[in-house]
Amino acid sequence: MKKIDKIISPAEVLETETNTHTHTQSAAMEGGDGGSERARRRLMDLIEEATVSPAKSLDLGLLQSIKAMVRSSDAHVHTAFDALFDKLKKNHSQVRFLAVLLIDELFTRSKLFRSLLVPKFEMFMLLTIGYRDDYPLPKPPDRATLLRTTSMELVEKWNDSFGVHYKQVRLGYEYLKKTLRLQFPNLRAAAALAEQQRQEKEARTQALIRKKYESLCQDFSELRVEIQSTLNEIAECCKILEPEIVSAPEAEGNELVSEAGLESLVFGEDDDYEEYGDSSLRRQLHEEVSEELSVPEKPKETTDNSAVFESLRDLYKLVASSHLRTTQEWLSILMRVDTSDTRPRDALLKEVIDLRTQLLGSLGKCESLGIDPTERASTSRTAIDEVDDEDIIWEAGDAETDKDLVDTTSTSHPINIENDSKMSAPRNMDPASSSAIIPSEVSKKKVETGPRADLLEMAPVLPYGSFLDNWGSKSDVPANQRGLEMENHWGRVDTEAMIPVERIAEMNFRSSFYKPPEKEITPCRAPLKKGGLCPRRDLRRCPLHGPIIPRDENGNPLQTPEIDVPESKPAEKELLEVSMGGLHSASSSSMGAPSSISEAELAMQAIANVRERDEAEARKKRDERVTAKRKQSKRDREHNDIVLRAAALSQSHQGFQSSFGEEFDDNSKTGGGKKKARGGLTALLKKTPTAKERIAQRLLNSRVRDNAVNELARVEEARHRDAAANNWS
Amino acid sequence: MLRQLRRREVGADNPRSLSTHVRGERVRQINLSGHKEVVSAHHSGINSLQVDCTEARYLLAGAADGSVGVYDTQQPTFVDSALHVAKHEALFTVDKSVHLGHIFSVSSVQWYPVDTGLFVTGSYDKNINLWDTNTHQVELQFKMPGKVYAIAMSAMATTHMLVAAGTEDVRVRLCDLATGACTHTLSGHRDGVWALQWSASSEWILYSGGCDGAIRFWDIRRAGCFQVLDHNRSQIEKRPSVTNSASQRQEMATATMGSSSKVGSQQREAKRAKLSKGSLALKNARAKESAVQRQHPGMMSANDRSTAHNGSVTALQTSDDGLHLFSAGTDSRVRLWDIESGCNTLVNYEATRIRAHQGTQLAVSMDSSLLFVASAHSVQTYDIWSGRMHSKLVGHYDNVNCCAFLPEDQELYTGSSDRQILVWSPPKALPIDDEEEVEEEGLKTGGTTVTADEDAWSD
C-alpha cells in the first residue's frame, strides 16, 4: 500500500483509498440503489484506472481498494468480472496484461469470480494466450509476449490449484499442453525438482560434516595440545620481549593479556590510570594515549632479540594461517552438524571457542609487539634493511593493501607496487575509470606529490609480464639461477657465470605499439515502435533516426533538434580548421608573443567575424537585388504603359474615326489634351476588357490560386514533417 | 419426487411415466461430468462416436489419425484418487499398424447392430473395413470410388445385412456384409453424400443427405428415391381441389340419402348414373394422382431439384419413434421433418453454428425431448418441439464433430477436433460427509497443494 506509483501520486492513492472505503461503507449501510450504483461506477473507474498504466505490475493501492470493494458484495464481483472481461477484449496487449493480473488476483480469492470466469474460459484463453491464428494478440509485440507468458503461467497455476474443482480449467490446460503442444513453464515440476536437488545437496553436505565431526572428535585432543604448545611458545616469546618495553608488573599481567587481546593489553600497560575517572572517559583517554604511546613503545628489533622476533613472527604466521583457520573450520562444522546427542558437541564447541579466543588474544599481543599483520605473507628471506625504505613510503597505503591481501605480490615485491602505481598513474588522468576500478590507488595518488608525481605522469603503461620479476634490479643475475650442476656435451659449463646488468636490460628491452584510445560509440537510442530503444551505434548519424543526439532514458531528445545544425557544422569546422591553421601560422610567425587567449576562443572569434562579414555581404546583395527588381518592375510598368497607351490609342482611333473623323486625331496629338485623354482612355479600357482577355485573366487567376494552394500545402506538410519527426506512437 | 413415488406405488400413475419423468429431469441437468472421464487414446480429433446397440455400453470412436478405439463406459479403468474421477481408457485401439488398417482419417464408425463382435469403419482412404472386435483384425474390406464420408447400418434389419456408404461419389452404395459385395447403387444425389440414416420403422427405408443440400428417401426394394425433402414445403400440398371436394360432398350426401330413404328406382337409376359419373370423375382424378405418385419422382425435375438445406446436409437423425427426422446443414440450420408427409415442420432451432467440413452427428435423448447439436466449440441442447435452446455445453476447445447419447445413464459423449472425448452427465448425488471424506483423503494422498474451492480473501 505504501508503494508509490509513478503515475499516481501517493496523496491521490490515499485519497482514492479513503474514498473507496467510505463508498463501500456507505453502500453497505444504505443498501439503496443510488449508493450501490455509485459504488458500481466507482469500481468500474478503479478498474479502468488500474488497467491503463504502462507499468508491468499493478498499482498496489488500486489493487487493494479494488479487492476491498469486490469483497464487500457479490454484485461487485459481477461488475468487476464484466469490466475486466471488457478490458480483455480491448485491442491492446498492455491493457489485457494488466486485466489478466487483476483477474488472477480475484480468481484466486473469490469463488463467485471463478464460477463466472470458468464458463468463459475458452474465450479467456483465446484473448490472453492467443493460441489461434485467427485471434492473434494485439500490439505492441513485447507486451503481447509478456501477456502470453504470464497468462500461461497463470493457467498452469490455476490448473494446479483449482483444476480439481473446475474441469474446464483442467481441460483447457490439457488442450493447450497436449493438443496444441504449447510449452508451459511447468513451475510446479521445476520447483519440486529444485527442492529435491536442494535436499540431496543438504544430505550430502550433512554427511560430509558428520564425517568431519567424527574425525574431529577423535583428533581434537592431539590438535589442542599442538595449538596449546604454540600458544605457550608465543607467550614465552612475549615474556622475553616484554621486559624491554614495560616494567616488571606489566610483564606479570601478561598471562591475562594473552587472553583478552589488544584492548585489555592497553589496560594492563597503563595500570597507573586505573585509580580515577569514570570508565568510559578513561577508556577514551586510554585509546588516545595508547595511540600516542604504542608506537614509540614498540620494542626495537636489535641483533640481540632478532632471533626471538624471528620465531615470534613464525609463530604468528603459523597461528594466523593454520591454527585460526582450523578453529574456524571446527566452529563451522560444530555449528552446522546436527547429531542426536548434543552434549559432547556443546562441550567441544565451548572448548573450540575458548581456544579461538586464546589464539586471537595471542595474535593481538603479537601485533602489539610490532609484528605487523601485513607481514603475514612476507617470506623470511625478505631482508630487514630492504623492507624499511619501502615500508615508510607505503605506510599510508598499507591499510588498503591489507584488505586485498590476495595480491601477495604487492607486499612481497614492493618494487612492483611502485611499478603498478606507475602504470596506474597515467590511467589516473581519466579519474572516473580509475576510481571505479581501483579505489585504493586514488588514495595513493593523493599521497604522491612533488617530482614523483610528475615522473609517474610521464611513465609509460606496460602490460603485466614475467619481466616485472626483476624490474629495476641493478645487480647481475647468475646464468644458472637454480644452482643445478649441469653437464654439457659441448664442453665445460661455467656455473659461476653472471649475466651483466646491461645485458639483462638489453634482453628486457620491450617494444610497444601505439593503440588508439578506444572511443565508445554511443547508441542511437531513438525510441522504436515496438518498444525499446534503437541499439544502432553510428558515429554521427543513424540511418533510421537521423543525427545522433543526447536522449533521456525514454529516448526523447534532451533538446529540440535544430535542423540547420548539421548543415552548418561542417562549414564551421572547416572555418575552425582554417582559422586554426591561420592561427598556427600566426603563432609560428610570432612565437614570442604570449597567447593569453586560447586557440579555441580565437577560432570562435574568427568564425564570428567571418560570419558577420558574410551576413553583411548577404544583406548588401539582397539590397542590390531588391533595388534591381524594383528597377526592373518600374521599367516593365513603363513599358506596359506605353504599350497599353499605344493599343488604346489605336483602338480609340479606329473607334472614334468613324464618329469624329480626323478631329480626335488632331486632338490627341495636341499636348494639353493628351493627358486628359489618356486618363479617360485607361479608365475606359479597364471598364470594358474583351471576352478573350477576361478568360485569360480568369485562367491566370486560377493558375495562380492553384499554385498558391499547392505552395501552402507543401509548406504545411514540411512543417508537419518537422513537428512529427520525433512523434512516436 | 416422493409424491410421484407414492402415486406410482398406489398405481395412480402409469409405471412408465415416473421413469420418463425422472429421466427427463436428469437429462435436463446434464453437464460436464465431474466423476467420469474418457481418456482419449487418439492423437487427433475425434470424427465419429457410436454406442453399441445391444448393451449400450461400449463406445466406438473413430479419429482423424486413422485410429479407432473402443471404450467401456461402465467399468472404469482406474479411479484417480486425487481428483476422484473415474477414468475410462480405451479397451483397445486399431490403427494403421494393423494389416489393412485405415491410413487416413476415419470418418464414420458403426457397430454391427446384432452384437458387439463386429464393427464397420469408413475412412478417407476410400475403404470400408469390417473389423473383428476380438481379434482386432480386418475381416472384410470394401473399396469405394472416393473418400467415405458416412456409413450406416439398419438397427432393425432382420432380412438384410447392408452397410450404406456415402462417399465423394454421387451414388450411395449398399454393401452386403454377407457376400462382401456391393449390391445396390442408389443414384440421385448431385454431390457427395455426408449423412446416411436408416429408418427406425422400416428396414428397407434409407435416408441420405448430400452436399447438394438434398435429403432423399430411398426404398431399397425399388429403384430410385421416392421422396426428396423440400424445406419450402411445410404442409400437405395435395389438397383436393375445390370442385372435387364439392362433388365428393355431393356424393356423400346422396349416399346417405340413398341409404336412409327409399326413393323411386328411376330416381335411383338416374342418381346412380349421376353418381357413377361422379365416381368416374373421381376415379379419373385418383388415377391421375396415382400416376403422378407412381411416376418416378426423380423424373419430375421440379421436385427432384428441391433442397432441404442451403448447403450440405451434415447430419441426419431419426427420432426414437421413427416419425420424425432431424437434419443439420452447413447453412447453420437444424430442421425437423415429418417423415410420413415429407414436410418441414418449421421448428426454428435458434442460434446454431454448424461449421462442418464433413459429416457430423446429432443426438436425441431417449424420450425425444432434447436434441443435442454440435455447434462450433460447444454442444447445444434444444427442446425438440419448441426449438428453444435449453443449455449450452461448453468444454471443448475446438469444433465438436460428433455426439452419442447413452439413454440408460442419460449420458452424452462428445468428440471434438481437440482430440478429447468428453462425458456429459447429470450431476452425481453424493452423500455430503462421504464427499468431504473423499476430499480429505485426496488431499492427503495426493500430497499436492490442492486448495479447497472456497473464497480466500487474505486481505
Contacts of B458 in chain A (CB under 8 A): 109
Among A475-479, A526-530, A662-666, where is mean pLDDT lowest? Answer: A662-666
Do residue B209 and residue B356 come from a single domain?
yes
Residue of A nearest to B35 (CA): A167
Among A245-254, B183-192, B276-285, B338-347, where is mean pLDDT lowest? Answer: A245-254
- Residue A325 host element (H or E): helix A324-336
Are the C-beta atoms of residues B312 and B211 closer than 8 Å to each other?
yes
Q: Is the peptide bond before A140 cis (omega within 30 degrees of 0)?
A: yes
**How many contacts (CB atoms, under 8 Å) link A and B?**
60
Residue type, B324: H
CA–CA min distance A96, chain B (Å)? 21
User: Is residue B267 very low, low, confident or very high in pLDDT (cuts 50, 70, 90)?
Assistant: low
Task: Using DSSP bridges, classify how beta strands B36-38 and B85-88 pair: parallel, antiparallel or unpaired.
Answer: parallel
Contacts of A164 in chain B (CB under 8 A): 82-83, 442, 450, 453
Assess if residue B454 is contained within a domain.
Answer: no
Residue of B nearest to A192 (CA): B448
**Least CB–CB distance from B455: residue in A109, A178, A179:** A109
Do residue B273 and residue B328 come from a single domain?
no
pLDDT for A257: 42
Question: What is the C-alpha to C-alpha distance for residues A589 and B85, in angstroms, rounded to an integer?
Answer: 103
DSSP string of A341-409? --HHHHHHHHHHHHHHHHHHHHHHHHHHTT--GGGGS--TTS-HHHHHHHHHHTHHHHHHHHHTTT-HH
Q: How does pLDDT run across B188-231, given as a tens digit for each residue?
A: 888 889 999 999 888 899 999 988 889 999 998 888 888 888 88
CA–CA min distance A142, chain B (Å)? 27
Do residue B292 and residue B317 come from a single domain?
no
B32 touching chain A per CB within 8 A: yes
The sign one gets for the Cα dihedral A388, A391, A392, A393 is positive
Give the three cell numbers for residue A519.
Answer: 572511443
Q: How does pLDDT run across A529-549, given as a tens digit for each residue?
A: 887 888 888 888 888 888 888
CA–CA min distance B429, chain A (Å)? 16
B87 touching chain A per CB within 8 A: no
Contacts of A166 in chain B (CB under 8 A): 453
Count how many Cα atoms sit within 13 Å of the Cα of residue B37 in the half-sphere of its side chain.
20
User: Is residue A685 very low, low, confident or very high in pLDDT (cuts 50, 70, 90)?
Assistant: low
Residue ranges of alpha helices (H) inside A661-690 are 662-669, 671-687
B76 alpha carbon, distance to own chain's centre:
27
Q: Is B348 exposed, middle or buried (0-12, 13-18, 19+ CB in 10 A)?
A: middle
Taking residue A331's Cβ as centre, other Cβ atoms within 10 Å add up to: 15
- Residue B49 host element (H or E): strand B46-51
CA–CA min distance B223, chain A (Å)? 47
pLDDT for A53: 79
pLDDT exceeds 90 at position B420: no
Q: How does pLDDT run across B133-190, given as a tens digit for each residue?
A: 999 889 889 999 889 999 999 988 888 889 999 999 889 999 998 888 888 898 888 8
A143-147, A282-286, B401-405, range with greatest mean pLDDT: B401-405
The ipTM, to two decimals, is: 0.70
Task: Using DSSP bridges, classify how beta strands B137-143 and B68-72 pair: parallel, antiparallel or unpaired.
Answer: unpaired
Do residue B285 and residue B425 come from a single domain?
no
Taking residue B135's Cβ as centre, other Cβ atoms within 10 Å add up to: 10
Do residue B87 and residue B172 come from a single domain?
yes
Residue A208 contacts by C-beta under 8 Å, 6 or more apart in sequence? none
Do residue B359 and residue B393 come from a single domain?
yes
Give the three cell numbers for residue B446.
Answer: 495426493
**Least CB–CB distance from A71: residue in B32, B397, B457:** B457
CA–CA min distance A158, chain B (Å)? 10
Q: In angstroms, how far is the first alpha carbon of chain A from the final one?
A: 32
CA–CA min distance A3, chain B (Å)? 17
B311 alpha carbon, distance to own chain's centre:
19
Contacts of B82 in chain A (CB under 8 A): 164
DSSP string of A430-497? SHHHHHHH-HHHHHHHHH--THHHHHHHHPPP----GGGGGTT--S-EESS-S-----BTTB---TT-
**Global pTM exceeds 0.80:** no
Assess if residue B18 is contained within a domain.
Answer: no
User: Is residue A287 very low, low, confident or very high in pLDDT (cuts 50, 70, 90)?
Assistant: low
Taking residue A336's Cβ as centre, other Cβ atoms within 10 Å add up to: 14
Assess if residue B203 is contained within a domain.
Answer: yes
The residue among B263, B278, B298 that closes a domain is: B298
Are the C-beta atoms of residues A580 and A570 closer than 8 Å to each other?
no
Taking residue A505's Cβ as centre, other Cβ atoms within 10 Å add up to: 10
Give the three cell numbers for residue A558.
Answer: 534532451
Give the three cell numbers for residue B312.
Answer: 450440405
| pLDDT more than 90, % of chain A | 3
Q: How does pLDDT run across A426-449, given as a tens digit for each residue?
A: 444 444 443 444 444 444 444 556
Q: Is B382 exposed, middle or buried (0-12, 13-18, 19+ CB in 10 A)?
A: buried
Contacts of A174 in chain B (CB under 8 A): 420
Q: How does pLDDT run across A392-421, given as a tens digit for each residue?
A: 444 444 444 444 444 444 444 444 444 444
Q: How does pLDDT run across A627-663, given as a tens digit for each residue?
A: 999 999 999 998 888 888 888 777 655 544 444 444 4
Contacts of B420 in chain A (CB under 8 A): 171, 174-175, 179
Which residues of A lie closer than 8 Å to B, measured between beta carbons? 64, 67, 71, 108-112, 114, 119, 122, 125, 160-168, 171-172, 174-175, 178-179
pLDDT for B106: 92
pLDDT for A245: 55
Mutate which of A129, A167, A174, A188 to disrupt the B interface (most B C-beta within 10 Å)? Answer: A167
pLDDT for A21: 43
Are the C-beta atoms of residues B308 and B335 closer than 8 Å to each other?
yes
Do residue B126 and residue B215 come from a single domain?
yes
Residue type, A106: L
Cell 430442421, residue?
B335
Q: State whether A111 and B418 contact (CB < 8 Å).
A: no
User: Is residue B385 very low, low, confident or very high in pLDDT (cuts 50, 70, 90)?
Assistant: confident
Are the C-beta atoms of residues A376 and A321 closer than 8 Å to each other?
yes
User: Helices A565-589 and A599-660 meet at what angle, rounded to 10?
Assistant: 130
Average the pLDDT over B86-94 and give the result. 89
Question: What is residue A555's three-state secondary structure?
Answer: coil
Do residue B278 and residue B326 come from a single domain?
no
Question: What is residue A551's three-state secondary structure?
Answer: strand
Question: What is the C-alpha to C-alpha distance for residues A137 and A143, in angstroms, rounded to an integer?
Answer: 9
Assess if residue B4 is contained within a domain.
Answer: no
Do residue B69 and residue B192 come from a single domain?
yes
Question: What is residue B60's three-state secondary structure?
Answer: strand
CATH of the domain at B219: 2.130.10.10
Domain that holds residue B328: 26-233+306-432
Question: What is the C-alpha to C-alpha distance for residues A495 and A500, in angstroms, rounded to an integer?
Answer: 15
Residues in chain B: 459
B394 touching chain A per CB within 8 A: yes
Tell which B residues from 33 to 52 touch A, by Cβ distance under 8 Å: 34
Mean pLDDT of chain B: 79
Are the C-beta atoms of residues A536 and A548 closer than 8 Å to each other?
no
Residue ranges of alpha helices (H) inside B11-68 are 15-28
Q: How does pLDDT run across A699-726, given as a tens digit for each residue?
A: 888 888 888 888 888 888 888 777 766 6
CA–CA min distance B34, chain A (Å)? 7
pLDDT for A393: 42
Ramachandran region, residue B109 (left: φ > 0; alpha: ψ -120 to 50; beta: rest): beta
User: Is residue A22 very low, low, confident or very high in pLDDT (cuts 50, 70, 90)?
Assistant: very low
pLDDT for B442: 40
User: Is residue A132 very low, low, confident or very high in pLDDT (cuts 50, 70, 90)?
Assistant: confident
Contacts of A162 in chain B (CB under 8 A): 451, 453
Assess if residue B54 is contained within a domain.
Answer: yes
Q: State whether B397 and A171 contact (CB < 8 Å).
A: yes
Give the three cell numbers for residue B222.
Answer: 425399388
The number of domains in chain B is 2
pLDDT exceeds 60 at position A691: yes
Q: State whether B450 and A164 contact (CB < 8 Å).
A: yes
Question: What is the C-alpha to C-alpha distance for residues A147 and A446, in angstroms, rounded to an integer?
Answer: 55
B98 touching chain A per CB within 8 A: no
Question: What is the C-alpha to C-alpha distance for residues B11 and B4, in angstroms, rounded to an integer?
Answer: 10
pLDDT for B70: 92
Residue of B nearest to A119 (CA): B394
pLDDT for B123: 92
Do residue B379 and residue B247 come from a single domain?
no
Average the pLDDT over A148-177 and give the result. 83
- DSSP conformation class of A209: H
The residue among B298, B316, B340 that closes a domain is: B298
Residue type, A11: A
Assess if residue B13 is contained within a domain.
Answer: no
- Check residues A148 and B273 and name the one with the higher pLDDT: A148
B422 touching chain A per CB within 8 A: yes
B455 touching chain A per CB within 8 A: yes
Q: State whether A122 and B418 contact (CB < 8 Å).
A: no
**Least CB–CB distance from B456: residue in A109, A164, A174:** A109
Residue of A nearest to B422 (CA): A171
Q: State whether B455 and A108 contact (CB < 8 Å).
A: no
**Least CB–CB distance from B451: residue in A161, A172, A178:** A161
Do residue B287 and residue B310 come from a single domain?
no
Are the C-beta atoms of residues B59 and B73 closer than 8 Å to each other?
yes
pLDDT exceeds 60 at position A270: no
pLDDT for A273: 46
pLDDT for A628: 92
DSSP string of B121-142? EEETTSEEEEEETTTTEEEEEE
- Residue B327 host element (H or E): strand B324-329
Q: How does pLDDT run across A97-120, given as a tens digit for each residue?
A: 888 888 888 888 888 888 888 888
Question: What is the C-alpha to C-alpha distance for residues B436 and B417, in angstroms, rounded to an integer?
Answer: 36
pLDDT for A283: 61
B376 touching chain A per CB within 8 A: no
Are the C-beta atoms of residues A521 and A538 closer than 8 Å to each other?
yes
Taking residue A579's Cβ as centre, other Cβ atoms within 10 Å add up to: 21
| pLDDT more than 70, % of chain A | 63
User: Is residue A597 very low, low, confident or very high in pLDDT (cuts 50, 70, 90)?
Assistant: low
Q: State whether B422 and A168 contact (CB < 8 Å).
A: no
Assess if residue B14 is contained within a domain.
Answer: no
Q: Using only the alpha carbons of chain B, give its radius of gyration.
A: 27
pLDDT for A278: 54
Assess if residue B419 is contained within a domain.
Answer: yes
pLDDT for A689: 64
Q: State whether B450 and A119 contact (CB < 8 Å).
A: no
Contacts of A122 in chain B (CB under 8 A): 377, 394, 397
- Check residues A57 and A421 and name the one with the higher pLDDT: A57
User: Is residue A677 very low, low, confident or very high in pLDDT (cuts 50, 70, 90)?
Assistant: very low
Q: State whether A110 and B457 contact (CB < 8 Å).
A: yes
Return the HEC string of A152-199: HHHHHHHHHHHCCCCHHHHHHHHHHHHHCCCCCCCHHHHHHHHHHHHH
Do residue B205 and residue B250 come from a single domain?
no
Question: What is the C-alpha to C-alpha distance for residues B384 and B319, in angstroms, rounded to an integer?
Answer: 10
**Least CB–CB distance from B377: residue in A122, A162, A166:** A122
pLDDT for B266: 54
The residue among B298, B318, B348 that closes a domain is: B298
Q: State whether A160 and B82 contact (CB < 8 Å).
A: no
Among A66-80, A390-404, B103-117, where is mean pLDDT lowest? Answer: A390-404
Are the C-beta atoms of residues B315 and B362 closer than 8 Å to each other?
yes
